Each structure stands twice: as C-alpha cells, then as structure tokens.
Amino acid sequence: MTTPKMLSEDLVKLAIAALEEIKAQDIVTIDVREKTSITDFMLIASGTSSRHVKSLVDNVLEKVKEQGVRPLGSEGLDSGEWALLDLGDIVVHVMLPTARQFYDLERLWQGAEQSRAQFSAESGPEQE
C-alpha cells in the first residue's frame, strides 16, 4: 500500500515546524513554482554551528519520514557548513550564516515569492 503524496504546502509547514522546534534562525520560504520545474519550494534556514546545522536537517528528516515522505537525497551532512535535503516538492537548505551570506540564495531567487517564518518566542506560531 502506498502513502498518499503530501501536498507541497503541507510539507513546507511540516519542515518549518521541524526547523523551529530546534531553534533554526531566519527561516525563509521561496515559492519557485513559476521559476523552475525542479521543485516547488525552497526553504532556507541558518544554524548556529555545524552541529546545529546537522541537527536541524536530521530533525526535518525524522519528521517527514514519520509522515511517510522519503527524501530523494541529501548533501553536506558531513561538513555542516551547508546541508541540503531534497524532498522532491521542497528543497531544504540549512547553512551557517557565513555560507548563507556568501551564496545568497535569496538574491539568486529574487523575483520568486519569498516569506519569512512568522514565529517569535513571545507570540508563538501564527494561528491560521
């Protein structure tokens, strides 16, 4: 029996929640559906250390697997400077701030709809 495919938007929400759960910084969602056929969304987040970067990606991986989503691949988990998790409909990039500033993916995808996760310790997650 196959698991029904998770909608892209639901997968984005799940990945953001997994990133927020262990304190990812500056989470940005970029909707690239109109820009490329490779993926629907890119998530970009920062970690505070190479260990934190790896932990963030591992947590996303654990949460999506619990929902029956199998990643297509991952890169960079050894170095921890920039880790990538390819979930098909979304690609999750977690980087150290220096790598994020250097590669500047937000600028690269300028023109695509971008949004920052709306979470703060004081207010909690946004309610829909």
Torsion angle of C-alpha atoms 19, 20, 26, 27, degrees rounded to 10: 50
Residue with tokens 């979470």: 119
Examine residue 100 and state whether it is found in any structural domain, yes or no: yes
51-99, pLDDT tens digit by residue? 999 999 999 999 999 999 999 998 888 877 899 999 988 999 999 999 9
10 assigned to some structural domain: no
Are 32 and 39 in contact by the 8 Å Cβ rule? The answer is: yes
Q: Is residue 32 part of a domain?
A: yes
Q: How many domains does the chain have?
A: 1
The CA distance from 117 to 13, in Å, is: 10
> 100 vs 43, 110, 123, CA distance in Å?
12, 15, 27
Residue 125 lies in a domain: no
Say if 13 falls within a structural domain: no
Residue 6: the pLDDT is 62
Residue 83 lies in a domain: yes
Residue 14 is assigned to a structural domain of this protein: no
Residue 56 lies in a domain: yes
Structure confidence at residue 37 (pLDDT):
79
AA identity, residue 86: D
Domain that holds residue 83: 24-116
CATH value at residue 107: 3.30.460.10
Q: Is the pLDDT of residue 5 over 70?
A: no
Please check the confidence at residue 49 and state whether its pLDDT lies above 70. yes
Model pTM greater than 0.85?
Answer: no
